[in-house]
Amino acid sequence: MSALSSRLPAFPWDKLEPYRATAAAHPDGIVDLSVGTPVDPVPDLIQKALVAAADSPGYPTVWGTAELRDAITGWVERRLGARGVTHRDVLPVVGSKELVAWLPTQLGLGAGDQVAYPRLAYPTYEVGARLCGAEPVVYDDPVADLDPARVKLLWLNSPSNPTGRVLPKDDLVRIVAWAREHGVLVFSDECYLELGWEAEPVSVLHPDVCGDGFDGVVAVHSLSKRSNLAGYRAAFVAGDARVLGELLAIRKHGGMMTAAPVQAATVAALGDDAHVREQRERYAARRAALRAALEGHGFRIEHSEASLYLWSTRDEPCWDTVGHLASLGILVAPGDFYGTAGGKFVRVALTATDERVAEAVRRLGA
């Protein structure tokens, strides 16, 4: 094993391949509910904006066009309830996963520093810590569990991937106050914020949470889920202008530029709420059908009040559940991909076509 690969955990999705093969052998085909990748069309107005900007021979800027920054600041104020957002408070990034993976490195973290993230979490938080040589640490409650003298970066994730849990506003207020008291930088991954079902997610940038300023607080947002733009790599961060200014300078050196046509598409996407409502309705219908079918099949659903997943259990080892569903031609993600605490859960994604979801429902009810 190379020195580079030894720094990182094994890529978890490789372990799922035998189960994928089993599911794919089903006579009526696989129903892939394992990965949260959009399957519905990119809205027409976004495609048209991309095409209209296709003649972009020059280099784009890392900070983005003024029109893009206007669109982001306007959306952050309109949708998140933030106040007084300026161009200095926003920064486009090349997809949120890139940001999560490389943020600790770009912040200059390393040996002796800790990067903290929820006990059940998206694996890239850990990867980002390991890439720069920092120590990854998990928490249930950051205020109670962490040493503020060592934690340099605190990741929040609400709504959660994989559980769909939404942090109550009072918890966000308490955590932000604690982090500011101890000089801990907070990055809040809010990429599923527009997909609340049984709870209304609150952004860390809301004045009820962060007060009159964004000191020490940054929110991460993506257009992958709300606008079906995973293939465009369209995302941004918003918050503490000092932190974003440092990131902007570093990312200029690295040439980390959002493609000009994608910038134009992002402007169109953030300026239109109708397509987001339409996509929410699709996911809501799929969620209701899958939840009822899973519960009828003996599953219990925990949390899942938001996001694109149903956090599901039959109170057995997760790989046994993965194998059972694969025998029905249904592929899901094992909960231990997201931490040992997920060892008896599976994550069931809503990102399949209506036809495939209906087929999964049929098989679960057979």
pLDDT of 13 reads: 79
3-state secondary structure of 82: coil
What is the amino acid identity at position 103? L
Determine the Cα–Cα distance for residues 244 and 189; give it in Å rounded to an integer. 15
3-state secondary structure of 50: helix
Q: If you average pLDDT over residues 116-134, what whole number do you get? A: 96
Determine the Cα–Cα distance for residues 280 and 196; give it in Å rounded to an integer. 9
Q: Check pLDDT > 90 for residue 16.
A: yes
Q: Check pLDDT > 80 for residue 289.
A: yes
**For 315-359, how does the pLDDT look when each residue is reduced to its tens digit (9 = 90+)?**
999 999 999 999 999 999 999 999 999 999 999 999 999 999 999
pLDDT of 92 reads: 98
pLDDT of 5 reads: 55
pLDDT of 1 reads: 45
**For 35-85, how does the pLDDT look when each residue is reduced to its tens digit (9 = 90+)?**
999 999 999 999 999 999 999 999 999 999 999 999 999 999 999 999 999
Token match 């972009």: residue? Answer: 56
| pLDDT grade for 178, boundaries at 50, 70 and 90 | very high
What is the amino acid identity at position 287? R
| pLDDT grade for 270, boundaries at 50, 70 and 90 | very high
Q: Tell me the H-state helices in 297-339.
A: 318-327
Q: Global pTM?
A: 0.95
Query: Fold for domain 3-41+275-365?
Result: Aspartate Aminotransferase, domain 1 (3.90.1150)
Q: Check pLDDT > 60 for residue 176.
A: yes
In the chain, % of residues over pLDDT 90? 96
| pLDDT grade for 170, boundaries at 50, 70 and 90 | very high
Q: If you average pLDDT over residues 229-243, what whole number do you get? A: 98
Determine the Cα–Cα distance for residues 251 and 94; give it in Å rounded to an integer. 11
- Residue range 44-270, CATH number: 3.40.640.10
**DSSP code per residue over 257-281:** ---HHHHHHHHHHHT--HHHHHHHH
Residue 84 structure tokens: 């007084």
Percent of the chain that is helix, strand, coil (3-state, to 5): 45, 15, 40
- Tell me the pLDDT of the chain averaged across its residues: 96
Q: If you average pLDDT over residues 278-296, what whole number do you get? A: 98
| pLDDT grade for 312, boundaries at 50, 70 and 90 | very high
Provide the 10 A C-beta neighbour count for residue 180. Answer: 16
How do 135-139 and 235-239 pair as beta strands? unpaired
Task: Enumerate the domain spans of the chain.
Answer: 3-41+275-365, 44-270
pLDDT of 3 reads: 55
